[in-house]
Structures are given as C-alpha cells and as structure tokens.
Amino acid sequence: MPAAVLQFVGSLAAVVAIVTVAWLLGSRKSANLSDEEEARELFRLAPGGFEPVEIALDTEGAAAIARDADGRLAMLVPHGNQFVFRLVPPDTPIRVEGDSVTPGNRPFLRITIGESARDWANTDSGDNNG
C-alpha cells in the first residue's frame, strides 16, 4: 500500500477515534440558556454589539429572541453547544401560533416563549431596519 494511502487511512481512523472519544466524554450537550442575563450577554457579544431592551427566552432555554432600542429583532439559535446570533431581516413577518413565534417562513427558527408570544406578534418587523 503506498505511503500516502496508508497515511490517509491512519488519519481517518484517528479522526473517528477522536470524535468517538469526544462523544463518549459528553461533548454532545445542546446549547442552553439558563436565564435572560446569559442571553443578554450573548446578544451583546454579537459583532458590533446588540443591546436588547426586551428579551424572550424559549421555555426550554433552547433559543431567545430580542429587540433593541432601534426596533431591530435578533435571535439566538442553537448550534451544537453554542448559539448563533441571527439578525432578523427587516420586514420579516412574525407569525404566532399558540405560545410560539416564527420569523418569516423559517420553521427551524420557531421559538416557544409562552404567553408573551402575542406581544411579539405585535412587533412591527418593518421597524427591523436598523
């Protein structure tokens, strides 16, 4: 077997071994927000900053939605054990179903926030142009 192929196969085996060890050691937990303060800190860490004036947490802590003083909407979306900051594009309609809200036609961004869902439905996402 040529040395290059042997090196590739060996490296592939090492990749599988490391990923397996990572999984076995518990590096597979989903991201979770413990409270609004933690969500606020993560919103603030967005590049250039995002200062929330209103935050709603997913009831399971799996996501968050926030509005800043300029009326911009942003979300924290789980990605592995981290969160991804996403600014909701201007003029995105916010759909409400029960105690959940969904920005635009993006079911994967659906967030269950409880009774306050109706308040976010009243958000004029047309303001989200900051």
Considering only residues 13-72, where is the footprint of another protein by CB under 8 A? 14-15, 17-19, 21-23, 25-29, 41, 45, 47-49, 51
How is the chain classified by DSSP, letter by letter? --HHHHHHHHHHHHHHHHHHHHHHTTTTPPP---SHHHHHHHHHTSTT---EEEEEE-TTSS-EEEEETT--EEEEEEETTEEEEEEPPTT--EEEETTEEEETT-GGG-EE-GGGHHHHHT--GGG---
Shortest Å distance, C-beta 31 to another protein: 9
Nearer to another protein, 25 or 122 (CB): 25
Determine if 86 is a binding residue for another protein (CB under 8 A).
Answer: yes
Q: Which residues bind to another protein, rule: CB under 8 A?
A: 4, 7-8, 10-12, 14-15, 17-19, 21-23, 25-29, 41, 45, 47-49, 51, 77, 79-82, 84-86
